[in-house]
Chains A and B, each alone.
Chain A
Amino acid sequence: AQKVTQAQTEISVVEKEDVTLDCVYETRDTTYYLFWYKQPPSGELVFLIRRNSFDEQNEISGRYSWNFQKSTSSFNFTITASQVVDSAVYFCALSDIKGGNQFYFGTGTSLTVIP
């Protein structure tokens, strides 16, 4: 069965610190997608990244970077030089592309960046 675990429930960092959010997933599928979404205090869900299971290249987008390791079934998210605007709940998700794009979400990590 598909499962996503975000073991860090809450994290607090001081502005300009780097922070890594962990995501571990379980699936028997060989083809799947992994995602990160941001949910700021306003409540909407903002898409950040999609990663194909066949592409293990790390990705960097500005202050954000993602480390995908199939060997450990992990898809970790790092924010460099954190800012107050990064304060949000971050969700990792796994998609079951055989079953009509069902998403399996982790329980989220609440990040607070202290000025």
Chain B
Amino acid sequence: NAGVTQTPKFQVLKTGQSMTLQCAQDMNHEYMSWYRQDPGMGLRLIHYSVGAGITDQGEVPNGYNVSRSTTEDFPLRLLSAAPSQTSVYFCASSYRGGAEADTQYFGPGTRLTVL
């Protein structure tokens, strides 16, 4: 079990560029989420998905798009990068029910810098 994987680990973008952060999990988890971590602010939810084909916005969705075509993958797209999107991005997944219900397991993170 690889758990939750994220690529790339580091990325530098110029303002206005677009890119996709990849996230995959091999635990057959229904729920997947994207968070951003900024100094002094903890982690904030960007978008989440409760299953393939179903996504919804979190606390800070502006400037980001997601889709979930398979259970395993949940990519995060930055449409037109801005310096305010400089952050560390974490993907997480969890079971919907059972003894481990709602315990989110996190990927290693992607550190993004927008110049």
Residues of A within 8 A of B (CB): 4, 9, 33, 35, 37, 43-45, 47, 50, 91, 93, 95, 97, 100-103, 105-108
A102/B106 in contact, CB under 8 A: no
* Number of A-B pairs, beta carbon distance below 8 Å: 64
CA distance A35 to B101 in the complex (A): 12
Q: Cβ of B74 < 8 Å from any Cβ of A?
A: no
CB-CB nearest in chain A for B44: A105
Query: Smallest distance from the beta carbon of A1 to chain B beta carbons, Å?
Result: 11
Minimum Cβ distance to chain B for residue A75 (Å): 15
CB distance from B87 to the nearest CB of A (A): 13
Could you say which of B35, B40, B96, B105 contacts A47, with CB atoms under 8 Å apart?
Answer: B105
Q: Which residues of B contact A (CB under 8 A)?
A: 31, 33, 35, 40-45, 48-50, 56, 58, 88, 90, 92, 94, 96, 100-106, 108-109
Q: Which of B58, B102, B106 contacts A45 (CB 8 A)?
A: B106
Q: Are A105 and B43 in contact (CB under 8 A)?
A: yes
Instruction: Find chain A residues with CB under 8 A from B33 CB.
Output: 101-103
Rounded to whole angstroms, the CA-CA distance of A103 and B90 in the bound complex is 13
Which among B45, B58, B100 has the highest number of chain A CB atoms within 10 Å? Answer: B45
Sample 27 A-B pairs with CB under 8 A, ordered by A number. Answer: A33-B101, A33-B103, A35-B103, A35-B104, A37-B106, A44-B106, A45-B92, A45-B106, A45-B109, A50-B100, A95-B102, A100-B56, A101-B31, A101-B50, A101-B102, A101-B104, A102-B48, A102-B58, A103-B35, A103-B43, A103-B92, A103-B104, A105-B42, A105-B44, A106-B42, A107-B40, A108-B42
